[in-house]
Structure 1
């Protein structure tokens, strides 16, 4: 007879299948097949799937397919974003900073510290950081999603420091299922479409099964300009409207006259910002600025298209051997849309006979405000006669020809918004075989290979080299350069002065391609060893095995993308990268039932695991890292209705390819307040000396401006000598299933995760604090100060990355991370007379989440706080979060209410204190208030109150084969709290709000239909 496929049942119902352990025991297999355990009555939001959280020694939060249907989400990231304890990472609500993929961040420790699995197996990552793109998960075939906290490294290998997210697909699917859904906001935008078709069946008298699922998803953009709270960019400091200093008309700097006594630029006392001036309507350059409102161009929902295919099958060759396979293909297209490009502080040389140069501005270029400085202190750059002669010079060979070199800030709205089109194509294929060695021992061996290719094509970006060519013009049609097609550009007029021909010359498309590969082979033997403890009723279970993984990744950029400062507003160059590493691992786990069915010991089970990993980086001179990880844990049931469980593990995370191979590159970080800005350096000689030591011109002291749009330059790079991170994780909790409350279950779990030797760069606040400290105690000779390099013309921390290195933030092993908190899950299902009622509650309390970037540095607390520094891994992490769903089941209709609650948060106290030091040094009129100097965050923006969201879903089962679902999300149309655009990281603080944490889209309506047969 057939063995009932003992190994098959274990894979279907035992811990191995749910992604929690490699061990399966006979009792699990037999109970799953033949008995109704009490745990079988426990459901997750109406599903009949047994919650793995109730039977494991490690806490798991399970989200079922039914819950996914009720949420009506297009992609997996939107589903996970709603879970308490998950901090929103890069996803559909991130525009500036989205690289075309979506990720999950468990516990707020970073999306690189957890792994995403499909049926307990790794799939190809999507980028240099080794993360799995959630856009590729086939939601239509997902049976449930298990989110496990900690204790996963011995089971799944590196990267699982904070846990795993395991997407479990439906097995043995037979039939046809077709579903379609669409959503629209109350304002009529943000249209989404999702269509899925799944077909599967059994064959050869049930020995085999095959399933194929095809899906298409699409979402349209939602522009920030279409929401009243986001239409105008607001400064988080002044509380008033603000914007970018790269604006229209053009701004010029670096034109201060030279003091002959010092040979340095002298300060123009009429210009408080160091001679930065903007052209006005009369053609003069004045210190009264117009900023550029970039918000209307940005988006709250990134446009997205995806076509995906998923197929899997299994076939029993014999009673003892089964082969299985799985393949997935996905093509995603994500567009990010941000404000127009331009020259963001790049240098240009302008000839004084430029045909577009106004005479008033020409005279100012020759000598700014010479009458305001005492006679004899300096000689104007050019005399009035020289200036007049230069205006009529015939060309460079003319002895009267003159030029000036200045920095240029000019927004090119005539070109249109900057668009980054990301097309990601991924395929991943696995094949394996499994079977039984004996009645109690199984084997499984499989191999897989996957590739991901992300092609970024950027459009409407201007080139700084073209600006430099086009500003040297003999006339309106001829450039001095010999570059073919050069068109002189009018930089001195209002919006529209750049014609289509000029715009066409200034721009060029650019591309960057990132390819990643993952090859893996894995084999396990698991079962029981035939030994049972004297007081136990079940045998000791075990699993042993080995695994090999080979990672590879390349980034190939064209010349434009990898040239620093060439693409206007690209945020830094994209260097070529080619790297990889190999991992060899051996592992073993054991589960030992010690006591069962004794007084005060309904069960007592211990478990342990050990994994050896060897990492070899594919680079000459790189060290080989050998690590050991382990776990110990157990569960005790004093009575059948109560289980106490705990697990302690030592985990590691090896550096990813980006951290290993990324070369020194100037990019962008967020920094609102520069200690060298404003009058502070003139009041403090020590501070002045520091600013000058960092490369600020002497003449800029007293007039340096804060970074434009709160974005400063930063130089960062990786190293092949990085070693793995090490973490200690603890979970301790209890599961309660009282007999006197049928259908009720509850779990309460404490988690504690500590990571040392953290791989990463210091936060911008830490880099500034390491140098300036209390300002009065800072030293101009300190290495922490001199590594910061300023704009050689303006003295600021922003500008052309080719000349301004900015902050210095290399990737090191010096940091520490720590978090701890409590998860509470409760479920109840029962008959209340007029309906069946299902109640599900998930709550998280995060006690602490700290990051110390280097020994002796600030141990920064970020739970319940928001700021630039508290966005180092994702969006806001509140102290408390809950999600409660109540579903009423009538005869043919289900009515479901979802209540999501987020605790109040506030502006980070440490950042507020740091700003106050600078504010006091500058002599602000009211450092603690909404003063016009904007020295401190506006008091109105220092707190975000608790937020409640309510969703309503109605599902009508019209027949056994057809169901119709109607959903209203954000039922009360709650709007997010406005805190300005310069209070946090650009990726998560956008449109004056935090759109990844708080709903910026408004009330949304969705309809869906599902047909099965």
Structure 2
């Protein structure tokens, strides 16, 4: 049997099939259940049929392709992925939208309050509802930009078994997903139970396996480059006027830096995933007035990030001049008396006699014994890549009862409890303390301190000079655990009051809710020590916090006019919520909206909401840590501070040593240290959102429906940190002075003056959370669906388009001079994930007797580099042209109980535009492209076999 021709796309809730007579519906964004009401807020609905046509194996794969949504951390984010995937509505941040399962909050993943949407059982979904424009009055905080409600199948009977196999044309990235759903009625139809089990296995795709990802390309020069943590070792001696030198190919001397390390091949475009899923739900009518229900879910996932080999990332290590691996020629250069190519400039560190004597002094008690602090950049390619394995476990149970209070009012009460845990285990890193212990060796076979089985390391040799024994000593592994728990209780009544102003009664919902949220992050001692885990970026200090909130809420839907001339329907909607947070006190949210149908085929709808969001545990309590991000320029780099006295004074005030002036460099890998953390003095955010739109279902064109909606969201007192560009601008563009706090808050490497290096000694740029931010976005959504019978086949056309007018961020809302940055249509280190001005998806489906053919067209508008920084980059990398993707799917209904779905995704094998590696933020600009926005995997094939009985 062919699929119904009116199912298979993204549609507005207002255009979905009407409920059966007498059947109550629950529309996402409201607690009111009534068969005759539709809400004023726009809701995009992704049906189960559309998910099947897309061959989506996770919810994130589908959601990030919805126009108007901005890709968040997902399967294509490698460096910056903590083992979870998120959704980002309207580009306002994943922390400003709420994720629900059947209208109930899912337990978050950890400190930041975000829900890992990888846990959603895709095969069990009836639909995904995406409501944007604020929903705080209905669901409480976190719903500033809206909610995503995953609705599972209800009253399922029978058995549904499916298996999906997917692979790229290159033969990698193999993905398997298998699901089985079993359900049935019991108790003479008074009850129903559903149980589902699923398994997913997705393999990694390496950047080195795609032509555009083989080499790390500089966005500034266009040349193949890489990191200054390289092989052979890159060496400087802090406190001298030396530049950055590298061990020569023959290993006998130090020469100008010539061989950056290409880290791309070891990084990945797609993270691997293995997941086990269990889900069950049941309901039972005890009598005509009471029904009890329960729901439970358990998910265990293992995913990994794979990052290029670790090393000593410009750590300064005390090195004996009698180190057994130190070549004589390099020793002479370090001592500084070799004036042709020395590291010490005009003043030698040691005389030749002193240097020669130190070369033979292997005992620290020997008066001739000398050590030098050497800044090493040496990649441990012998270790293989750095592997972070994340094992996440989540369970949530929900139980309650509902029934009829009176004939026209229903009641419901439920409680839910969930826990999540994310255990991270790292390997391939090495530790700083053990590395220093190993470097202090003066004998090639034993260390001066032989504790822990110390093995001497050769940092001057070529690839292979670091032996497996050294790796066993250095790479001891480290781990950490993040977890959260959410308890919630809710009770409400909904229905109608039995009378109204018009022929339709007034509908109401009144209720109360309590939530208790706690979260923690715990790590081993290695992970907690800044800079101790080599190549690990930020430390992971222990954090723990909790808060609770008590709320009352109410909704009112008042049909004002019904069936009148020029007012076939006129309805007013009101809602409000009072929330008492244990952290920020009492907050108020409310909404007012309505709809007007001058004629039956046209409805005008709109609404205004006042929404608040209290800070989450991470924003309140996270301990400041230093990590890494991308950047492109440093005003203190190069010769500029040698000719500008004020600039020199600023660089010195930021912690650069005087000897580094003139030799400060920008990291060849395009990275910078940044320090982030929580702020216990944060207050709640406040947002004003409004929408206005229309629903058009003309009687003269059966099968046609259209919705158009304008949204406007302004967020004040936003909990934000400044962008990297904002930090530089506040110092170097606005009152550049060595006494300006905006300048002195930038802290440089005390050994080299660079803005990169050991995170334990180089805080870098301060990205401190405050309530000073302001965020604004507005735009238009357009949805159109048309279905008709062509005689030989059914035709189904669907279109969902978004035009984002503005998406602005201001770091300081109270400062008129603060830049009001707009990231729509732009990419840079100041704009995270790409948000095009215009995007759409269009699906055309032909349904024959036993076969459906469906073509999906995805369009992404052209984008360009943010104008403020465009001149920094090579011209060919300053634009990404518009992109068109086509996916072709065929559904073969072999029998009434067996169907085969085959799809070609990225039909024309479009490759992403190469823009280099340091033109955007680390998480989203990876492998020279933006793989979360543009398809970096290439053409791939997917086949699903499904059996139902």
Report the CA distance between 1:238 and its aligned residue.
0.2
1:548 aligns with one of 504, 508, 514: 514
Partner of 1:962: 898
Deviation track 1:783-821 (CA, whole Å, cap 9, x = no partner) reads 000111100111011001111111112111110000000
Report the CA distance between 1:173 and its aligned residue.
0.2
Partner of 1:25: 34
- What are the ranges of 5 or more consecutive residues in structure 1 without an aligned counterpart? 1-8, 29-54, 257-264, 269-273, 618-623, 917-935
Matched, 1:301 2:301: no
**3-state secondary structure, aligned to 1:66:** helix
The two structures have a TM-score, normalised by structure 1, of 0.90
Tell whether the 8 Å contact from 2:337 to 2:350 is kept in structure 1 after alignment: no
For residues 715 and 530 of structure 2, the distance between their equivalents in structure 1, rounded to whole angstroms, comes to: 35
For residues 392 and 489 of structure 1, the distance between their equivalents in structure 2, rounded to whole angstroms, comes to: 18
1:1009 aligns with one of 937, 945, 949: 945
Distance 1:67 1:371, change over 3 A: closer
Deviates more, 1:741-750 or 1:700-709: 700-709
Tell whether the 8 Å contact from 1:338 to 1:419 is kept in structure 2 after alignment: yes
Deviation track 1:170-204 (CA, whole Å, cap 9, x = no partner) reads 10000000000101101111100010000000001
For residues 686 and 245 of structure 2, the distance between their equivalents in structure 1, rounded to whole angstroms, comes to: 49
Matched, 1:440 2:408: yes
Partner of 2:16: none
For residues 470 and 948 of structure 2, the distance between their equivalents in structure 1, rounded to whole angstroms, comes to: 58
What is the correspondence of 1:328-727 to structure 2 with a 5 Å cutoff? Answer: 328-367=297-336, 369-370=338-339, 379-533=347-501, 536-617=502-583, 624-727=584-687
Partner of 2:786: 828
For residues 718 and 59 of structure 1, the distance between their equivalents in structure 2, rounded to whole angstroms, comes to: 34
Tell whether the 8 Å contact from 2:227 to 2:667 is kept in structure 1 after alignment: no
Deviation track 1:73-123 (CA, whole Å, cap 9, x = no partner) reads 111000101100010000111111111111000001111100111111101
Tell whether the 8 Å contact from 1:652 to 1:724 is kept in structure 2 after alignment: yes
Deviation track 1:683-720 (CA, whole Å, cap 9, x = no partner) reads 32211111011011111111110134221111222122
2:58 aligns with one of 62, 75, 81: 75
Partner of 1:975: 911
For residues 221 and 900 of structure 2, the distance between their equivalents in structure 1, rounded to whole angstroms, comes to: 50
What is the correspondence of 1:752-771 to structure 2 with a 5 Å cutoff? Answer: 752-771=712-731
2:810 aligns with one of 852, 857, 880: 852
For residues 725 and 11 of structure 1, the distance between their equivalents in structure 2, rounded to whole angstroms, comes to: 43
For residues 444 and 22 of structure 1, the distance between their equivalents in structure 2, rounded to whole angstroms, comes to: 11
Partner of 2:759: 801
Deviation track 1:200-243 (CA, whole Å, cap 9, x = no partner) reads 00001100000000000111111100001110000000011010
Report the CA distance between 1:280 and its aligned residue.
4.0
**3-state secondary structure, aligned to 2:358:** helix
Partner of 1:126: 109
Distance 1:374 1:740, change over 3 A: closer
Partner of 1:49: none
For residues 877 and 65 of structure 1, the distance between their equivalents in structure 2, rounded to whole angstroms, comes to: 26
1:285 aligns with one of 254, 262, 265: 254
Distance 1:818 1:635, change over 3 A: same
Report the CA distance between 1:957 and its aligned residue.
0.4
**3-state secondary structure, aligned to 1:537:** coil
1:864 aligns with one of 825, 847, 855: 825
For residues 276 and 761 of structure 1, the distance between their equivalents in structure 2, rounded to whole angstroms, comes to: 36
For residues 790 and 394 of structure 1, the distance between their equivalents in structure 2, rounded to whole angstroms, comes to: 34
The alignment's C-alpha RMSD in Å is 1.6
Tell whether the 8 Å contact from 1:583 to 1:613 is kept in structure 2 after alignment: yes
Tell whether the 8 Å contact from 2:67 to 2:839 is kept in structure 1 after alignment: yes
Partner of 1:34: none
What is the correspondence of 1:128-277 to structure 2 with a 5 Å cutoff? Answer: 128-255=111-238, 265=240, 267-268=241-242, 274-277=243-246
For residues 788 and 490 of structure 2, the distance between their equivalents in structure 1, rounded to whole angstroms, comes to: 44
Tell whether the 8 Å contact from 1:255 to 1:368 is kept in structure 2 after alignment: no
For residues 585 and 100 of structure 1, the distance between their equivalents in structure 2, rounded to whole angstroms, comes to: 32
For residues 225 and 597 of structure 1, the distance between their equivalents in structure 2, rounded to whole angstroms, comes to: 65
Deviation track 1:355-381 (CA, whole Å, cap 9, x = no partner) reads 111001111111165468999x96421
Report the CA distance between 1:254 and its aligned residue.
2.5
Matched, 1:84 2:67: yes
For residues 113 and 526 of structure 2, the distance between their equivalents in structure 1, rounded to whole angstroms, comes to: 26
Partner of 2:39: 56
Tell whether the 8 Å contact from 2:333 to 2:341 is kept in structure 1 after alignment: no
**3-state secondary structure, aligned to 2:642:** helix
Partner of 2:748: 790
Tell whether the 8 Å contact from 2:323 to 2:440 is kept in structure 1 after alignment: yes
Tell whether the 8 Å contact from 1:254 to 1:276 is kept in structure 2 after alignment: no
For residues 406 and 139 of structure 1, the distance between their equivalents in structure 2, rounded to whole angstroms, comes to: 54
Tell whether the 8 Å contact from 2:504 to 2:559 is kept in structure 1 after alignment: yes
Report the CA distance between 1:11 and its aligned residue.
14
**3-state secondary structure, aligned to 2:118:** helix
For residues 60 and 12 of structure 1, the distance between their equivalents in structure 2, rounded to whole angstroms, comes to: 23
Tell whether the 8 Å contact from 1:278 to 1:289 is kept in structure 2 after alignment: no
Tell whether the 8 Å contact from 2:841 to 2:857 is kept in structure 1 after alignment: yes
For residues 513 and 255 of structure 1, the distance between their equivalents in structure 2, rounded to whole angstroms, comes to: 37
Partner of 1:35: none
For residues 104 and 28 of structure 2, the distance between their equivalents in structure 1, rounded to whole angstroms, comes to: 9
Deviates more, 1:683-692 or 1:809-818: 683-692
For residues 898 and 343 of structure 2, the distance between their equivalents in structure 1, rounded to whole angstroms, comes to: 88
For residues 827 and 763 of structure 2, the distance between their equivalents in structure 1, rounded to whole angstroms, comes to: 27
For residues 668 and 368 of structure 1, the distance between their equivalents in structure 2, rounded to whole angstroms, comes to: 37
Deviates more, 1:479-488 or 1:999-1008: 479-488
Tell whether the 8 Å contact from 2:244 to 2:257 is kept in structure 1 after alignment: no
The two structures have a TM-score, normalised by structure 2, of 0.96
Tell whether the 8 Å contact from 1:562 to 1:573 is kept in structure 2 after alignment: yes
Deviates more, 1:127-136 or 1:310-319: 127-136
**3-state secondary structure, aligned to 1:883:** strand
